[in-house]
Amino acid sequence: MRTHPRSNKKLITLRGSIANDIKNRLGREYKIKSLGVGNAKEGKVDGRYMEKIVDILISKNENDIAGIAVKFVMNNYSHNFNNYF
């Protein structure tokens, strides 16, 4: 797959697979938001200092309970260092 170095396209399959596995294990009472699942959007959660975009967001009863970041450290680490937490 040829994409721009900062593109998230190469991770959609990986994130979708992880998110679907989590979704199947947690059951229907939990909602999963992720690229590659459902409406294919990343989730946003309030961080300590700023809002964070997470790759997989887990919610229950409309309350966000967990955010998971799936990252590959590549050449562009210095451009996205604030996303590695």
pLDDT at 30 over 80: yes
Comparing 51 with 38, which gets the higher pLDDT? 51
Assess whether pLDDT exceeds 70 at residue 14.
yes
What does the DSSP 8-state code read for residue 2?
A: -
- Give the per-residue pLDDT at 61: 94
Q: Can you give the pTM of this predicted structure?
A: 0.72
In the predicted structure, residue 6 carries a pLDDT above the cut 80: no
Using one digit for the tens of pLDDT, what is the confidence trace for 49-65?
Answer: 988 888 899 999 999 99
Q: Is 25 a residue whose pLDDT tops 60?
A: yes
Q: What DSSP state is assigned to residue 4?
A: -
The token duo for 59 is: 């919610």
Percent of the chain topping pLDDT 90: 32
CB distance 73 to 84 below 8 Å = yes
DSSP state, residue 29? T
Fill in the DSSP letter of residue 8. S
In the sheet that 30-34 helps form, which strands lie side by side, from edge to edge?
30-34, 56-60, 63-68
